[in-house]
Structure 1
Amino acid sequence: MLWFLMCVGLLVGGYFIYGTFVEKVFGINKQRQTPAYAQNDGVDYVPMSKGKVYLIQLLNIAGVGPIFGPILGALYGPAAMLWIVIGCIFAGAVHDYFSGMLSVRNNGQSVPNLAGKYLGKNAKNFMNIFALVLLLLVGVVFISAPAGLLGKLTGWNVTMFVGIIFVYYLIATIVPIDKIIGRLYPFFGALLVFMSVGLTIAIVVSDQHTLLAGFGPGDFLQNLNPKDAPLWPALFITIACGAVSGFHATQSPLMARCVENESSGRFVFYGAMIGEGIIALIWCAIALSFFDGVQGLSDAMAGNPANVVYGASTGLLGAVGGFLAVLGVIILPITSGDTAFRAARLILAEYFNMPQTKISKRLVLAIPLFVLGAILTQVDFGVIWRYFGVANQATAVMMLWTASAYLVRHNKLHWICTIPAMFMTDVVISFLLNSNTLGAGLPMTVSTIAGTIMTVLITGLVIYIGKGKAQELAAAEAEEV
């Protein structure tokens, strides 16, 4: 119990202390007009209150990732909780803050355009392709997972639920953001809070289960995986949402188009990530506690984290409470899946320079995305999840390097983004070089050394690009004077 409370306390403290520091480094301007007002179109650029934008942002980023990922990560033991805390404060929340605030500063542009501006044209082209692939994978993952849970709850055909969710996604993708997302998501946010708080209270007062019983301080630094799966670098791919997730970089610009003032950025972007980190901690702790350790968790999971969600929710909250908790887990991916397709539409709109005020223009871009999504739902869920994990973290790497280049360009403390960018770059490259299914299948030692060397080279390149852009900016400003 104490270890869990300490982890939550560190996350909350991180918001007030490190979050304030990050905001100061960025340098907000309360007098600057935000895109919500400057480009108000009644569809995607719509001013909304800080509280509403926060809840929508939280739901946009909190799909099944901060639930399934921490459950899978819990197989490594409490080390997963340590990564959630450190990753969330120093990498994930920083990533989300800059992906949101750089979008605010650049007319609500999406991550490919931001990468292009601060890293160059090649980065923009790479991110256009990568972001679209990621968003399609996210959309498919966040159709299959809730449809499967709905089928488990009702006993009805899963394919029927896939079709229903698809129809909803299409509607939510093309209608103005304040018509469905702006009205329903704050309510869903309350359900999410109920689910998280309810499960935590239930396991604390339970006579049969003790939160993190049997785990000591030393276990936070050990790999307890029952199958001896290596912790490095797999844990940092497995737990993305809740620690650091590139998917958030595609979602933050949606709310950057709705933020009323730059002063809301820390609460909306950094704060929502801290909120997701707490959700991830809750599920990681429950997974370790309810099933009496990693071996019991592995047996209960049987290869599918949804089994853990269903078993723990009904076991702790009973039939009715468990139903509501599982319903919250169903809503989470749905509220991220629709915004994934919406973000994909907006990225295409920026690429083709196609205004989205007319519904016909939105349909032209949305329908092909849903056709591709329907095809991908036929692929095995496990395969889709593996590719999603790698694509997700690679996107986070690109966003962190984009933010680093921005800070170098403006002669600000770039290390707050450069250090997490270096770490995640090493994670992704090492994972790909070592993976037998997705990469080269090289030995772990060789993969890690090669990943470290490539990370150092990339770091030098980004700093070089950033300084070059800084010189160009200084020269332009001198000419204006």
Structure 2
Amino acid sequence: MISFIICLILLIGGYFVYGKVAENTFEPDDRETPAVKINDGVDYVVMPQWKLFLVQLLNIAGLGPIFGAMQGALWGPVVFLWITFGTIFAGGVHDYFSGMLSERNDGASISEVCGIYLGKFMKNLMRVFSVVLLVMVGTVFAVGPAGLIVTLFAQGGIGGILANAEFWLWIVLAYYFIATFLSIDKIIGKIYPIFGVCLIVMAVGVIFGIFVNSQYGIPEIWDNFTNMHPDGTPIWSFMFITVACGAISGFHSTQSPLMARCMKSERQGRFVFYGAMTAEGVIALIWAAAGCALYEVTGGLNTGLAEVLAGGQSAAIYDVCSKTMGGIGIALAMIGVIVCPITSGDTAFRSARLTLADWFGMSQDKYKNRLILCIPLLAAGALIGHLDYTVVWRYFSWTNQTLAMIVLWTASMYLFRTGKNYWLTAVPATFMSAVSMTYLFCAPECFGLSTTIAYPAGIILAAFFLGIFIYAIRKKPKTTIG
């Protein structure tokens, strides 16, 4: 339990110390923000700082820091280190710069931001990459909750249309259409802060339940500094890909422009972007601790946790909440497994709409323009939703972290061109390049090569990317861009 507390203190301290370093490097000022300058009453709307934080947290979180962290706990308490240091030095920095670079460029979507600093080719690549990724995320977060609702009705002995997954899929998609179409402060700005609080309360309840129950003990890192995965899956780079939202996630960069368009002051950025990522890291740390503390270990392997996870993400979350909080926990778990995915899904479609709007230069203050983009996006979601979503989701983890890698290289180029310390982002960019490329080479759903080939190949490619960056900055002069 001591190592958990140390990691928790480091995470919170990281926000105040390293978050300040990131802020001082970026140098926010008192210039007019897009929310004030553009303010179209739809996507550019000034919101209070507390609401920005909670909406950002829910946008980037969903079930990511819960289920991803529990999957990561299969490797044992060593996952605490990745969540802690990944959040401080990679995830928080990634989220802060993706949000602030969007804010500095009139709230531009992340594909447009990448194009500004990495060139036209990367802009077009990221446009396609982002829209495809966002539609996949939105679709999976429609199919999943629909299935969970059906399961709940089935357990209650209710049949008929209420126990039909197809019916609930269309209900969720209809809600997505409304939330994507309406002004951001109509639904998202009003009810999402409530669900954001629920996400935090659920995490606090879990860790409190572990602390007060003497039969549960969080194992120490130094006593279990081994690979505890029952299948023997290597820590590098599988654990770093699995625990995405709890440490660093490229999906966050697609969501940050939503709040970048709603800030009254640039000085709110550290609390909104770095702060929300820190909060997500804390939530992930708690759920990883639950995965390590609540289940049986056999022969040094987390067999008990693997058995629970085999029953599905909703069953695992339900089990943790019931063990730590009883009836209240079960109610919170139901909110978590149904509401949290939906809240990430609708903002995914909203981000896709804004990415397309930036791409085609379509103003979104008119109903007609929003309809032109919303209808085909949700139609694509409905089509994909009828496919085997395990296939759709298969490549998400890799594409997610690859997107994070590209955004960090984008921030590095921005910092170079403004004469600032680009190593702040170039170091995690290089690290994530190694993670992403190694996974591409060795994951079964990718190239499936042996680790003896994949490990050096991934590291060599990461060094190659760093070399390209250094070569590029030596040829480009520094500028005074904002």
TM-score range, shorter chain: over 0.9
Using the alignment, how far apart are the partners of 1:331 and 1:15 within structure 2?
28
Deviation at 1:157, TM superposition (A): 2.9
Deviation at 1:93, TM superposition (A): 0.5
Using the alignment, how far apart are the partners of 2:282 and 2:166 within structure 1?
33
Q: In structure 2, what residue type is equivalent to 1:77?
A: G
Q: Out of 209, 215, 218, which is 1:212 matched to?
A: 218
> What's 1:129 paired with?
128
Deviation at 1:304, TM superposition (A): 2.2
Deviation at 1:453, TM superposition (A): 1.8
Deviation at 1:153, TM superposition (A): 2.5
Q: Out of 199, 210, 213, which is 1:192 matched to?
A: 199
SS of 1:292's partner is coil
Using the alignment, how far apart are the partners of 2:68 and 2:388 within structure 1?
18
Instruction: Find out whether 1:96 has 2:103 as its counterpart.
Output: no
Deviation at 1:320, TM superposition (A): 4.1
CA, structure 1 residues 39+465, in 2 after alignment: closer, same or farther (shift >3 Å)? farther
> What's 2:164 paired with?
157
CA contact (8 A) 1:119 1:465 kept: no
> What's 1:465 paired with?
472
Instruction: Find out whether 1:245 has 2:249 as its counterpart.
Output: yes
Using the alignment, how far apart are the partners of 2:439 and 2:234 within structure 1?
11
Moved more, 383-392 or 51-60: 383-392
> What's 2:33 paired with?
34
1:395-438 alpha-carbon deviations (Å, 9 max, x no partner):
10110010011111112111110111101111111111122322
Deviation at 1:96, TM superposition (A): 0.1
Q: In structure 2, what residue type is equivalent to 1:382?
A: T
CA, structure 1 residues 130+412, in 2 after alignment: closer, same or farther (shift >3 Å)? same
SS of 2:395's partner is helix
1:120-167 alpha-carbon deviations (Å, 9 max, x no partner):
111111111111111112112212232233233332333332222111
> What's 2:382 paired with?
374
1:195-239 alpha-carbon deviations (Å, 9 max, x no partner):
1111221222124x31314x45142x3211111111111111111
Using the alignment, how far apart are the partners of 2:227 and 2:390 within structure 1?
23
Deviation at 1:303, TM superposition (A): 5.6
> What's 1:282 paired with?
286
Using the alignment, how far apart are the partners of 2:126 and 2:26 within structure 1?
23
CA, structure 1 residues 467+147, in 2 after alignment: closer, same or farther (shift >3 Å)? farther
Instruction: Find out whether 1:175 has 2:174 as its counterpart.
Output: no
Moved more, 100-109 or 316-325: 316-325
Using the alignment, how far apart are the partners of 1:189 and 1:357 within structure 2?
27
1:332-351 alpha-carbon deviations (Å, 9 max, x no partner):
11111111000000000011
Using the alignment, how far apart are the partners of 2:476 and 2:112 within structure 1?
16
CA, structure 1 residues 201+112, in 2 after alignment: closer, same or farther (shift >3 Å)? same
Q: In structure 2, what residue type is equivalent to 1:217?
A: W
Deviation at 1:281, TM superposition (A): 0.9
Q: In structure 1, what residue type is equivalent to 2:211?
A: V
Using the alignment, how far apart are the partners of 2:385 and 2:314 within structure 1?
17
Q: In structure 2, what residue type is equivalent to 1:96?
A: D
> What's 2:8 paired with?
8
> What's 2:236 paired with?
232
CA contact (8 A) 2:78 2:221 kept: no
Using the alignment, how far apart are the partners of 1:381 and 1:343 within structure 2?
21
CA contact (8 A) 1:63 1:142 kept: no
Using the alignment, how far apart are the partners of 2:246 and 2:239 within structure 1?
12
1:242-296 alpha-carbon deviations (Å, 9 max, x no partner):
1000000000000000011011000000000000011111111111212234110
Deviation at 1:76, TM superposition (A): 0.8
Deviation at 1:316, TM superposition (A): 2.5
Q: Out of 327, 333, 343, which is 1:325 matched to?
A: 333
Using the alignment, how far apart are the partners of 2:18 and 2:347 within structure 1?
28
SS of 2:184's partner is coil
SS of 2:477's partner is helix
SS of 2:82's partner is helix
Moved more, 136-145 or 117-126: 136-145
Deviation at 1:469, TM superposition (A): 4.3
Using the alignment, how far apart are the partners of 1:466 and 1:109 within structure 2?
24
SS of 2:28's partner is coil
Deviation at 1:87, TM superposition (A): 0.5
Normalised by the size of structure 2, how large is the TM-score?
0.94
Q: Superposed, which structure 2 residues align to 1:58-137 within 5 Å? A: 58-137=57-136
Deviation at 1:315, TM superposition (A): 2.7
CA, structure 1 residues 386+172, in 2 after alignment: closer, same or farther (shift >3 Å)? same
Moved more, 142-151 or 182-191: 142-151
Moved more, 365-374 or 49-58: 365-374
Consecutive unaligned residues in structure 2, runs of 5 or more: 155-162
Using the alignment, how far apart are the partners of 2:438 and 2:200 within structure 1?
36
Using the alignment, how far apart are the partners of 2:21 and 2:268 within structure 1?
15
Using the alignment, how far apart are the partners of 1:77 and 1:250 within structure 2?
31
Moved more, 314-323 or 397-406: 314-323
Deviation at 1:318, TM superposition (A): 2.2
CA, structure 1 residues 315+152, in 2 after alignment: closer, same or farther (shift >3 Å)? farther
Normalised by the size of structure 1, how large is the TM-score?
0.94
CA contact (8 A) 1:93 1:274 kept: yes
Instruction: Find out whether 1:264 has 2:264 as its counterpart.
Output: no
Using the alignment, how far apart are the partners of 2:322 and 2:390 within structure 1?
25
Consecutive unaligned residues in structure 1, runs of 5 or more: none
Deviation at 1:354, TM superposition (A): 0.7
